[in-house]
Amino acid sequence: MRLSLMLLITHGKRQRKLGGGKPQRLNILRRVVTGLVRHERIESTYAQCDEAKFYAERLIDYAKLGNTNAGAMRIADYWITEKDLIPKLFETLAPRFAEHDGRYCRLYRLPVTTQNTRDMAVLEYKGNPYPSLRPIPKNHPNSIANILVEGLRQDYEKKMEIDMKDQPAA
């Protein structure tokens, strides 16, 4: 987002304008959040994904209260337009993030191509069953550079051990 006077006034929490007004904005966000709960990884414009991320995470926070909580059920009923997903939210997603503390979503920008000039992004819940979008880094533990650094580390540990032995004697 651009730096502006409004950003200063709202402590950096200024929202984007989506659609043509408040009801349209909420409809878009509900659609995106429902899609995210169903597929656990969705592709949309960066603006929609970025705005929906906040609501998708708050939805999990409410779902953690349990399906017996009236407030939680009301929020879930409002944000999930396809009602068959409500049990999934309470029984699959909420237990998955029981140990987590916020930040249940991941957001990746997609490259801009000649076919699609819009700024696209991928939004996903963590712990989904799909393969990772980022390449898994290779460590090359048997490479010469790593063996040399490993030798350096072993020397350092040996030195530290000797120092530790010397200290009590002194």
Partner 1 sequence: MSRLKSLIVPSVRCIVHRRYCSTERVTNALVTEYRNDIFEEEKRRQQGMVRRLEKIEVVHVGPNDPGTFIMNKNLSTPYHCAMHISETYTKYSVLAMVNGEPWDMWRPLTEDCELSFVRFRDKHPEEANKSYWRSCALILGAVMETAFKDTIYVQLARALELPIIKGMFVYDVDLGLKDWTPTNENLRSLSLSAITMKSKDLPFERLEVDPSLALRLFQHNEYKQREVEERVRGGRVTLYRMGKFIDIHDGPMMSKSSLVSMFTVAGIHELPGGLYRVQAISLPHDFYLHSSVWNKLVKRASVPLVGDLSTAGVDESWRETKSSAA
Q: Which of 115, 117, 142, 167 binds partner 1 (CB under 8 A)?
A: 142
- Cα–Cα distance for residue pair 124/39, rounded to 1 Å: 9
- Shortest Cβ 133–partner 1 spacing (Å): 23
- Cα–Cα distance for residue pair 62/65, rounded to 1 Å: 6
Tokens of 37: 């709960």
Q: Which stretch binds partner 1 (CB under 8 A): 3-11, 41-49, 53-61, 142-150?
A: 142-150
Q: Which of 66, 154, 157, 160 binds partner 1 (CB under 8 A)?
A: 154
Q: Which stretch binds partner 1 (CB under 8 A): 7-15, 72-80, 112-120, 157-165?
A: 157-165
- Looking at the Cβ atoms of 133 and 162, the one nearer to partner 1 is 162
- Shortest Cβ 135–partner 1 spacing (Å): 15
CA 14 centroid distance within chain:
20
- Cα–Cα distance for residue pair 152/64, rounded to 1 Å: 48
- Looking at the Cβ atoms of 115 and 142, the one nearer to partner 1 is 142
CA 158 centroid distance within chain:
41
Instruction: Tell me if residue 62 falls in helix, strand or coil.
Output: helix
Report the chain's terminal Cα–Cα distance, integer Å: 61
Task: Give the binding site for partner 1 (CB under 8 A).
Answer: 138, 140, 142-145, 147-152, 154-155, 158-159, 162
